[in-house]
Amino acid sequence: MSKLGFIGLGIMGTPMAAHLIKAGHTLFVTTLGPVPAELTAAGATACASAQEVTQHADIIFLMLPDTPDVAKVLFGDNGVASGLTAGKTVVDMSSISPMETKVFAQKINALGCEYLDAPVSGGEVGAKAASLTIMVGGSQAAFDLVKPLFELMGKNITLVGGNGDGQTTKVANQIIVALNIAAVGEALLFASKAGADPAKVRAALMGGFASSRILEVHGERMINRTFNPGFRIKLHQKDLGLAMQGARELGLALPQTAGAVQLMQVCAANGMADLDHSALVKALELMGNHEVASAK
C-alpha cells in the first residue's frame, strides 16, 4: 500500500480521499478549515500544512477551487514544493488554467519530481460513486504509476498528452456542458411557455436524437426546481473564464461560450452564484418572465 497525500477536502475532495483510504492506502491530509471527521475516523492523518503532507507522502493529490489556490498550495509558505524530495509525484485534480499548469509542472519537474494535471468531470455524484471521468496530462511513466489510484476514483481515465493537455480537455468539457445546459433550458422554457408540460416534453425528447445526460439530469432539476449543488455556477463561471482567456490567447472566437458566460453572470448578479449550474435556466426565465415549472 502507498503513502498518499490529499490536499483540498471539499465537496469533491472528501469522497475522493475516502476511496483511497477504503482501498487500504495510508493517507495524510490537509484542507482549509477542519479535516472532515469521517476521514480521520477512517484512518487519515490530519496535517498542519501542505509541506507536512508532502513530507509524509510519495504521491500528493490536490483538489482545489482555482489557479491561485493551486499556486499558493504548491509554492507558498509551507507549500508542497518545500516538502518535496526527488522521486515524488504531484497530481493536481483541480480545474485550472492550462497555461499556468505548464509552468507549475516545469517547476515541480525541476525539483526531480513528476507532475500530472488530472482534472475530473462527474461532479459530487461521480466523486461519491467513484465514477469520475479523469483527463490526464503528463508523462506516460507518471500516468502508469498513478493509474491504479485513479481507478479508485473514476471510470473513464485517459492520458490525453503532456502537461496542460488534461486541463485543456477539462475546459473543452466545460464548454460542452455549459452549452448543453443552455440548450436544454431554452428548449424546456419554450415548451413550457407554449403550454406543454415540460416533464412530458423532456420524457419524449429522451427517446430521440436530442437525448443527453444534461437533458436527463439537469432537465429534471429545472422542472423540479432542485438547484442545490452539485456543481456551483461560480465554479463553472471560473472554468468558462479559462475558456475565454484561452480563446483570446489563441486568436479564437467562441461566441456560444460567450453567451453562456453572460447567462451565468445574470444568475450571479441575482444572488445565484452558489446554486447548481443547472440554475442557468433561471437567467432565461428572468428574460422570458416565465418559469419552466409553470406548465399550465
The C-alpha R_g of the chain, in whole angstroms, comes to: 20
Sequence-ordered list of residues with C-beta below 8 angstroms from that of 191, at least 6 positions apart, any chain: 198, 201
Q: How far are the Cα atoms of 107, 109, 121, 141, 258 from residue 113, in angstroms, in the given order?
A: 9, 5, 26, 12, 38
Q: How far are the Cα atoms of 53, 118, 148, 151, 266 from residue 142, in angstroms, in the given order?
A: 20, 11, 11, 14, 42
Dihedral sign of CA atoms 189, 191, 196, 201 in order: negative
Using CA atoms, how far apart are residues 89 and 108, in angstroms rounded to an integer?
9
Q: Are 296 and 194 in contact (CB under 8 A)?
A: no
* 126, three cell numbers: 461521480
- What DSSP line would sit under 149-210, residue for residue? HHTTTEEEEEEEESTTHHHHHHHHHHHHHHHHHHHHHHHHHHHHHTT--HHHHHHHHTTSTT
| 72 part of the active site | no
Catalytic residue among 72, 102, 170, 200, which? 170
For 266-274, the CB contacts below 8 A with 24+ separation are: 267/233, 268/233, 268/234, 268/237, 272/227, 272/233, 273/232, 273/233, 273/234, 273/237, 274/229, 274/232, 274/233, 274/234
Residues involved in catalysis: 170
